[in-house]
Structure 1
């Protein structure tokens, strides 16, 4: 009888391999790579076999995933939010949107035109003035019907480089970024191995109860205290970090039929940020959160 190691460590049963690995969590994959020499390269094998296929994920929202990704690269746009988390976790949530962050000015104007003229979306609404804490000026909501289903693409208009917005979201599990050719998770050990997430701004009723409940229902444990240095994974240690450092989960995405784009380094590579512990009170209750602040582009 063929055992599990023989199936996962070779190419002799591709259909069985695919069937088994589809159900593996990130934690399972990491654990298996540590069991024996034969499975040490399991993660790389899954990547090469398209276990994280960004084009397949984007097909629900766009007609031309390659062209869409190339446009992201041209305009320094990034994908974040729930879509990025689902992509890296290899799960799908019904009714979820695609969030794209683009800097205000000519870049977002060009991306809005592309969304309407090339991808056939219609502007549904604009939301203004409620996003000061996230470096966001406005959100454009675009809708279109795909195979009888209404899908939504939200263009998040940021005052500075879009990474400032992603780093200032309300919880660490959502600090994941997809560029045209790379995907990054900033807190992968906490998010995908420990299934824990920490507040990244003061946990008021909306982001501390309403929004967090969604992710509790999806399997994440919310930790209300910022860990002391060295008491948890070092990715959460206070102080300076950079995107692409040893704590970052970085993944090269599938080619987009453009040599220059495929050869380009990650657009966010080396972007520095600082982790700070913040404390405050809400109705007399002491609260803590982890402030994640982009500081500067390295080099």
Structure 2
């Protein structure tokens, strides 16, 4: 046999053995190999061949399981009930809780942060109480009992009918209530944060991009995956013009996420926001678009998709390359099951006004520009 033929034969044999290893190695071996890889590295590895793609997809199905996050707070039957509540109310998991899911990590000191429209707070709070969590009023709160908290209403100038408003108006995007629930042995803490607009409006106004992630009843979305989980983990400061106690709170949050491995950057470069591989892409965005990292939540509980992917916004930069998320909020207690956020577009608002203004004499549309 010639040396050249021997080399070709050896190469083919090695390739076959390599493919057999990839296809037939046990899942525990895959976990050891793929576990240390970042999401960006998993993506690159999955593109090398079909066998690698299958291995990565199987790894994602095994490792990115919401029960690993929720199992710290709820039993298996309660997790199913929780996901049904998410479907019925539009409640999302966000903050450090959702970040842990994508990062395949556990922050022992973290709470479970739940965001929901204010009108749906009661069913969630009552369920938490029923499964053993105790309402803990804040020291300065006048709402001493859960019943007091659940009786509190907030309309904030909103009228009956359809309301459209700028999402960055402080009156509309601040949390209305933060309901804290605790359970002991082991100690667990759940916070329910309510807002008048769609809860995604709160997420887009977080201090920086690394925590702009949500988990719905059937999907998890990371809004800025290239920066959050790339080779150099970075988080871009959002809405940087703050003052007073807000500045102190945000500074503490930055220190926390720096300790967890992220570099907080005050502004983006042109390379960061422009081009197909931009870490902080500018322009129109939508939940679940091609710039998001979207993972299905398993097991599938055979419910329709929710309304999360109907929400959109615009990522905008000023002359100093500071970033802000711009959107309008659309809300109605009587006409819409859930609120929505819409990209900042006056033509869109004019179109909505035109198609809804003649619905009925009792219909009221409030435009706050």
Name the TM-score class by shorter chain: 0.7 to 0.9
2:211 matched residue in structure 1:
174
Conserved? CA contact 1:185–1:249, under 8 Å: yes
Structure 2 matches for 1:133-212, cutoff 5 A? 134-145=173-184, 148-193=185-230, 194-202=232-240, 204=242, 205-212=247-254
Q: Which has the higher contact order (CA 8 A, sep 6+)?
A: 2
- Structure 1 position 133, deviation (Å): 8.2
Say what the alpha-carbon RMSD is for the aligned residues: 2.9
1:242 matched residue in structure 2:
286
Q: Distance in 2 between the 1:133 and 1:191 partners?
A: 28
Q: Distance in 1 between the 2:234 and 2:141 partners?
A: 32
- Structure 1 position 237, deviation (Å): 2.9
- Structure 1 position 271, deviation (Å): 1.2
Conserved? CA contact 2:225–2:293, under 8 Å: yes
1:86 matched residue in structure 2:
100
2:361 matched residue in structure 1:
none
- Structure 1 position 233, deviation (Å): 3.6
Structure 2 matches for 1:1-299, cutoff 5 A? 9-48=22-61, 50-63=62-75, 64-105=78-119, 107-117=120-130, 119-126=131-138, 134-145=173-184, 148-193=185-230, 194-202=232-240, 204=242, 205-228=247-270, 229-230=273-274, 233-234=277-278, 236-255=280-299, 257=301, 259=302, 261=303, 264-278=304-318, 289-295=322-328, 296=341
Q: Deviations over 1:195-251 (max 9, x none)?
A: 111011216542553211111111111111133342684362322111111101111
Conserved? CA contact 1:29–1:42, under 8 Å: no
Give the TM-score taking structure 2 as reference length: 0.69
Conserved? CA contact 2:90–2:116, under 8 Å: yes
Q: Deviations over 1:58-102 (max 9, x none)?
A: 011112111111111101111000010010110111111100011
- Structure 1 position 288, deviation (Å): 5.5
Q: Report how many aligned residue pairs link the two structures.
A: 281
**The residue matched to 1:92 in structure 2 has which SS?**
coil
- Structure 1 position 24, deviation (Å): 2.9
Q: For structure 1, which segment, 222-231 or 239-248, has the greater mean C-alpha deviation from structure 2 after superposition?
A: 222-231
Bigger radius of gyration among the two: 2
**The residue matched to 1:292 in structure 2 has which SS?**
strand
Higher strand share: 1
Conserved? CA contact 2:87–2:306, under 8 Å: no
Moved over 6 A (4+): none
Higher helix share: 2
Q: Distance in 2 between the 1:183 and 1:221 partners?
A: 23
- Structure 1 position 178, deviation (Å): 0.3
**The residue matched to 1:9 in structure 2 has which SS?**
helix
**The residue matched to 2:136 in structure 1 has which SS?**
strand
Compared CA separation, residues 40 and 170, structure 1 to 2 (3 A): same
Unaligned runs of 5+ residues in structure 1 are 280-286
Q: For structure 1, which segment, 230-239 or 70-79, has the greater mean C-alpha deviation from structure 2 after superposition?
A: 230-239
Conserved? CA contact 1:78–1:179, under 8 Å: yes
Conserved? CA contact 2:274–2:282, under 8 Å: no
- Structure 1 position 8, deviation (Å): 7.3
Conserved? CA contact 1:69–1:256, under 8 Å: no
Q: Distance in 1 between the 2:241 and 2:102 partners?
A: 25
